[in-house]
Structure 1
């Protein structure tokens, strides 16, 4: 049923575009709002009738869930706004802001539940238990478990951190309601009232989950680096085209889910006709966008392939200074030499030490030429 609903929302599209992502996010938010409002109303009635603070708190939690779903809906709606003069890359990061808001709401709810539960421990009150209460709580757990699966699956399909956060919140609700039900059963069988203690434990669990969600949603806003697998796939894709001798200085810019821009430098034979090289670069950029949806811009670095020995020699010597060091764009003129030096991110040597030792190495072979070095930090730069 879940997969059928997701396929219906996405109209069977396995690689949804920005418009399809927005429609899917809005649909998911509306579905979750309806589910949470119904659960809130039912639990509030049952909890007040039974005099159970944990059931009433659980109903309030559902109401706040509906509020967070409204935030998600607004996030998807604002993120779908087209680019304008002030925001030339669109408004996709609104979705990250919505995810952060949902995470903060989760944290606040957990802490509020802890406060109410401590009050319940200090002033315990008897609570009632009936078959109706058990049915309501079990039904709530079933609905929330479905919402967790639905949001997680749809969030993975469209790459939405907001829906993944909503799925985590639904998981927390399953745990919360399960604890409430367990306490009600224990109280009925043994007379031991654990309502407040369970509330504290569940509240702390929700708060901890919310803090984790905050960390996850803040990361892309701060400029989270893409995975090593993504970097390697982009690099391998570029190098698979004829005429590409090397690739470096890859930069990935994330302006929201489905709105990725990337730039890189590619090395090509400088003796080949520039128009032919430009055609290859155009093909790479066009194919990359068609396959991934991301925009790729490549910069052409001509390489003198008539005598590659100097660059190979220098590359070998530089690698001896520190594992992972590499060079590219070596230029040697009558009165100068220059090249780019790439320092891996895990290198422990300082920039000054690396530059000094590299210049000394270059001077061994070209003592009469002043050396100009541009230091890059790793194959990947991220913004």
Structure 2
């Protein structure tokens, strides 16, 4: 059913990195969820009225609020796919994260309200009366919500959408809550214990925890989370596959919403090759990055002298010195400036953690370099990795 609906209503459904395709996924999922929730609302209101069940009618109104969150998701995807404008040159992709954040807050609110009601009923228990019509309505609701949860979760994983993941979790929370009601309804046949309240309290806690988890997953990209290490490794290997690229550093990735990533990176190139030729190759790499990874890439060229024997020899020795201090350290942008009385060794050191302070590292590296030659002076710039 999932594949049939996606293939029918989403054009080019396999191209999940494309912003328009993502919008189609979000639209399809939102409309299906809205329709399912409205069906549940109508079914429960009619059924509840016919059998005079207040609980079924109340659950129907709860599904009406679920439809409201689905409408928010629908508009979230529409807004996220708006073209960049003068005020928002990086686009509106983060609307999708904001939608997921809103749903997560709604989940937390519902969980807390349910927890309050469950605790109050523990102290003032109400008798739960078994009803076959009520049982049928609840089971039907569970089956529909399970399918909705499956559909949204699968689509959410396909396009890596926190908004759809949040919608899926919202459906599964309803499944847990309704299942708890079913258990309490059946238990009322054999016991007078407040099973309904106990199970309701436990489910409410799970709902609140899931809401917090979803909130974190949507807040992280809004704040600027560290990129996926596997993706960065793949990008680094791809860049290094080009003959003109001799080394890379200062790689930074910015996420402005799914399908709207921006990358800046420094690529070391041979200084002896004509810069116009190298520049043309770099332009080709930037275009290839967009085609392969759907990332708008800006590459800064760092010309390095690879034919000077002394520079190469000192670069290798300084690299060994830095790595002997800590294997996680690395150097780049190495060059030398010769003078009549001394030679400056200018380079950057990339730090992965705070095992050493910059002052300590500078002292250690300088002292070891001085052991090679007292006329060598280190000019070091320390920086942290952005990935």
Common fold by TM > 0.5:
yes
1:340 partnered with 2:348:
yes
User: CA offsets, 1:277-328, max 9 Å, x none?
Assistant: 2222122111111112111111111121112211011100111111211111
Q: 1:159–1:258: 8 Å Cα contact kept in structure 2?
A: no
Where in structure 1 are there 5+ consecutive unaligned residues? Answer: none
User: CA offsets, 1:180-203, max 9 Å, x none?
Assistant: 111111112445452222222221
Report the equivalent of 2:319.
Answer: 315
Which of 317, 323, 327 matches 2:331?
A: 327
User: CA offsets, 1:191-223, max 9 Å, x none?
Assistant: 545222222222121111111111111111111
Q: 30-39 vs 120-129, which deviates more? A: 120-129
Q: 2:115–2:205: 8 Å Cα contact kept in structure 1?
A: yes
Relative to the length of structure 1, the TM-score reads 0.92
**Where in structure 2 are the equivalents of 1:246-325 lying within 5 Å?**
246-306=247-307, 307=309, 308-325=312-329
Q: 1:268–1:300: 8 Å Cα contact kept in structure 2?
A: yes
Where in structure 2 are there 5+ consecutive unaligned residues? Answer: none
Report the equivalent of 1:355.
Answer: 362
Report the equivalent of 2:124.
Answer: 123
1:172 partnered with 2:173:
yes
Q: 1:51–1:126: 8 Å Cα contact kept in structure 2?
A: no
Aligned length: 378
Report the equivalent of 2:217.
Answer: 216
d(CA) in 1 for partners of 2:198, 2:40: 23
d(CA) in 2 for partners of 1:136, 1:12: 38
Report the equivalent of 1:95.
Answer: 96
Partner-residue secondary structure (3-state), 1:74: helix
d(CA) in 2 for partners of 1:188, 1:142: 23
Q: 1:51–1:128: 8 Å Cα contact kept in structure 2?
A: no
Deviation at 1:151, TM superposition (A): 0.7
The CA RMSD measured in Å over matched residues stands at 2.0
Partner-residue secondary structure (3-state), 1:265: strand
Q: 292-301 vs 119-128, which deviates more? A: 119-128
Q: 2:33–2:67: 8 Å Cα contact kept in structure 1?
A: yes
Deviation at 1:45, TM superposition (A): 5.2
Report the equivalent of 2:372.
Answer: 365
